[in-house]
């Protein structure tokens, strides 16, 4: 029995291979037979091109059915799928390519010129959202023979997903077939997937949430996904009557609540709304319940560990909590000395279990830094746990901003801003934002009086993905510091916290 995740999925394909796998408003319907054929075709093509098990295939493409098939092809062929946020600019891509040394880089025709200089000698193919591209053309002769599933061991790598960090450069989290299959099986079970479920999928597919959590549940269920290219509240409302489960980041739910058409009647066919990747505000949870009668199920996870905790399907789903550790996952809340704390005390959340990644790609020392001596991973999230094990996240030890469900590390932006001519130094903070939850704000000192907000932002073009760009830049004479000389970001957050909520900007 192979540990290949693809084999697990295949064992769950519906008996009728003509059943819908992807239903895309822009691309039409793709069946499980299409899934099998396309993943076979891509797997054969990649192997014929010389890719051997363990090779990385870097993919920075818009969402499409073929992008999912390419992911599944990599699993099938024992290759390591490395998805990249389409927002990453050439300077960011250059780092990923140098670090991961992919066998192949897949981009879109539109983005190809932009990344050409960043990928060095790495072979490039294109795959566009409309299903065209050199990958499609070049693989035309492949497939048709149902190639074998490569017999990987469960501990072998299935995917590398880059996450940034409080310090330094992004790190590639190495996820094995076992990591992904254990988490998928557990989620499929605890969220009560049943025959006939249809998943409304409006998430991007370059992160854990859209690629693994959502897609794997559908695959294990042999279900169909209504597959939107990106999130649009009105398009989601139109699709609700054909779906039974929806997964989203909190921004999805606040945006839905902003639509008058989003009513109890509009969601009467949905059995479960799930939220994660960022804190769901109790106001949103309550407003959603009042408007629709549905209680959003909030869960918690991270790239390095997949899903960690979830509110229950049956039983109380409480606002402001992320529920209980998954059945095969262990969590604990520890103090600074690494010892487990009493229920109710605030400490660092640590996690262990079959979901836990294999470490950071080629960074054993960074992996070791984040692991306890007994094999728990330090999440960097601060939490409390109740007597009966219910987890509430209360903050972050890591200097992280989560904006619209995307993680942004201030250090990376500060380094770019500090390099802008005329800037003295900078501090980047997250402040409350009605739509994104948190938004990036930069507070900057200048050595050249002529430099303004537009000049700072302009200098970031091509350097930083646009979702990381500060939504505002404020100038100050000096940054506030504590006795140790460290910038007091709390002071800045207090000062600029009202930037997007009509309160004081302090500017
Ligand atoms: C887009 N923009 C953002 C942004 N998304 N800015 C800050 N934060 C974001 N998340 C910017 C763009 O750069 C652009 O700016 C402008 O907003 C409009 O872009 P858009 O593409 O039209 O945005 P929109 O489609 O509205 O996207 C917003 C969104 C999207 C919230 C729908 O970001 C999204 O789908 N987020 C989900 C992310 C996700 O899947 N996270 C899971 C990570 S896994 P400009 O300047 O260019 O005009 C994880 C683990 C776990 O965290 O537990 O799940
Ligand atoms: P990522 O590194 O993109 O996988 O993001 C993981 C981080 O997202 C976690 O460490 C948390 O800080 C945050 N996160 C995920 N789910 C939740 C949630 N339900 N509530 C609060 N934060 C969350």
What number does CATH give the domain 400-496?
A: 3.30.300.30
Residue nearest to atom 21 of ligand 2 (CA): 279
| Amino acid 490: pLDDT | 95
Residue among 144, 154, 153, 46 nearest 102 (CA): 46
Q: What share of the chain is helix, strand, coil (3-state, %, to 5)?
A: 30, 25, 45
81 token code pair: 């799928």
Position 502 scores a pLDDT of: 62
pLDDT at residue 144, rounded to an integer:
81
Residue ranges, the chain, pLDDT below 50:
503-507
Identify the pLDDT of residue 501: 85
pLDDT for 357 equals 98
Q: Determine whether the shortest distance from the Cβ of 379 to ligand 1 is under 6 A.
A: no
- Compute the distance from residue 203 Cα to the ligand 1 centre, in Å: 10
**Interatomic CA distance for residues 166 and 168, integer angstroms:** 7
- Give 135 Cα–ligand 2 centroid separation in angstroms: 34
Nearest CA owner, ligand 2 atom 20: 279
Q: What is the pLDDT of residue 147?
A: 75
Name the residue with the closest Cα to ligand 2, atom 7. 302
pLDDT digits (tens, 9 = 90+) for 366-401: 999 999 999 999 999 999 999 999 999 999 988 899
Instruction: State the greatest distance between any 2 C-alpha atoms of the chain, in Å, as a whole number.
Output: 69
CB 383 less than 6 A from any atom of ligand 2: no
On average, the pLDDT of the chain sits at 96
Question: What is the spatial distance between Cα 335 and Cα 345, in angstroms, rounded to a whole number?
Answer: 9
CA distance 455 to 228: 36
Helices 32-48/65-77 angle, 10° precision: 60
Ligand 1 near 325 CB (within 6 A): no
Residue 268 is classified by DSSP as T
Q: Which atom of ligand 1 is nearest to the CA of 302?
A: 50
| Residues of each domain in the chain carrying CATH 3.30.300.30 | 400-496
Question: pLDDT tens for residues 186-233?
Answer: 999 999 999 999 999 999 999 999 999 999 999 999 999 999 999 999
Closest CA to 275 of 189, 203, 173: 203
| pTM for this predicted structure | 0.97
Ligand positioned closest to the Cα atom of 319? 2
- What's the CA gap between 411 and 428, in Å, rounded? 8
Q: So what CATH class is 28-225?
A: alpha beta
- Cβ–ligand 2 distance for 39 under 6 Å, the answer no
Quote the pLDDT of residue 463: 92
Task: Give span(s): CATH 3.40.50.12780, the chain.
Answer: 28-225
Residues 6+ apart with CB under 8 A from 330: 351, 352, 353, 376
């Amino acid at each position: 029995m192979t540990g290949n995740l693809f084999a697990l999925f295949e064992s769950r394909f519906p008996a009728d291979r003509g059943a819908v796998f992807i239903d895309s408003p822009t691309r039409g319907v793709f069946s499980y037979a299409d899934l099998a054929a396309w993943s076979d075709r891509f797997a054969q093509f990649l192997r014929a091109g010389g890719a051997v098990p363990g090779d990385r295939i870097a993919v920075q493409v818009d969402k499409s059915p073929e992008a999912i098939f390419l992911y599944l092809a990599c699993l099938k062929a024992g290759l390591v799928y490395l998805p990249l946020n389409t927002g990453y600019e050439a300077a960011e891509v250059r780092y990923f390519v140098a670090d991961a040394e992919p066998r192949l880089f897949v981009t879109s025709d539109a983005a190809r010129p932009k990344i050409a200089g960043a990928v060095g000698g790495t072979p490039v193919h294109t795959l566009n959202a409309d299903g065209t591209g050199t990958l499609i053309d070049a693989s035309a002769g492949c497939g048709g023979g149902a190639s074998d599933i490569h017999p990987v061991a469960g501990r072998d790598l299935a995917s590398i997903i880059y996450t940034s960090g409080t310090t330094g450069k992004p790190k590639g989290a190495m996820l094995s077939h076992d990591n992904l299959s254990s988490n998928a099986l557990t989620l499929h079970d605890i969220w009560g997937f049943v025959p006939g479920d249809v998943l409304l999928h409006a998430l991007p597919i370059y992160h854990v949430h859209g690629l693994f959590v959502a897609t794997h549940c559908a695959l294990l269920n042999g279900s169909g996904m209504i597959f939107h290219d990106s999130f649009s509240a009105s398009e989601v409302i139109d699709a609700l009557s054909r779906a039974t489960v929806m997964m989203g980041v909190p921004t999805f739910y606040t945006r839905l609540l902003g639509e008058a058409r989003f009513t109890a009647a509009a969601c009467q066919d949905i059995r479960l709304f799930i939220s994660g990747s960022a804190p769901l505000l109790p106001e949103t949870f309550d407003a959603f319940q009042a408007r629709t009668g549905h209680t959003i199920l909030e869960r918690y996870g991270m790239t390095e560990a997949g899903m960690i905790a979830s509110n229950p399907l049956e039983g109380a789903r409480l606002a402001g909590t992320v529920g209980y550790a998954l059945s095969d996952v262990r969590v604990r809340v520890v103090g600074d000395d690494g010892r487990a704390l009493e229920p109710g005390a605030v400490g660092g959340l640590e996690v262990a279990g079959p979901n836990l990644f294999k470490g950071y790609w080629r960074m054993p020392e960074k992996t070791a830094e984040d692991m306890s001596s007994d094999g728990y991973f330090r999440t960097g999230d601060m939490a409390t746990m109740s007597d009966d094990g219910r987890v509430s996240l209360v903050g972050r030890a890591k200097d992280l901003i989560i904006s619209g469900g995307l993680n942004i590390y201030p250090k990376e932006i500060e380094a770019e801003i500090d390099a802008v001519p005329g800037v003295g130094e900078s501090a980047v903070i997250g402040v409350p934002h009605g739509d994104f939850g948190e938004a990036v704000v930069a507070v900057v000192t200048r050595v050249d009086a002529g430099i303004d907000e537009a000049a700072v932002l302009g200098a970031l073009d091509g350097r930083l993905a646009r979702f990381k760009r500060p939504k505002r830049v404020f100038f100050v004479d000096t940054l506030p510091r504590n006795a140790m000389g460290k910038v007091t970001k709390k002071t800045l957050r207090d000062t600029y916290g009202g930037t997007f909520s009509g309160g004081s900007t302090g500017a």
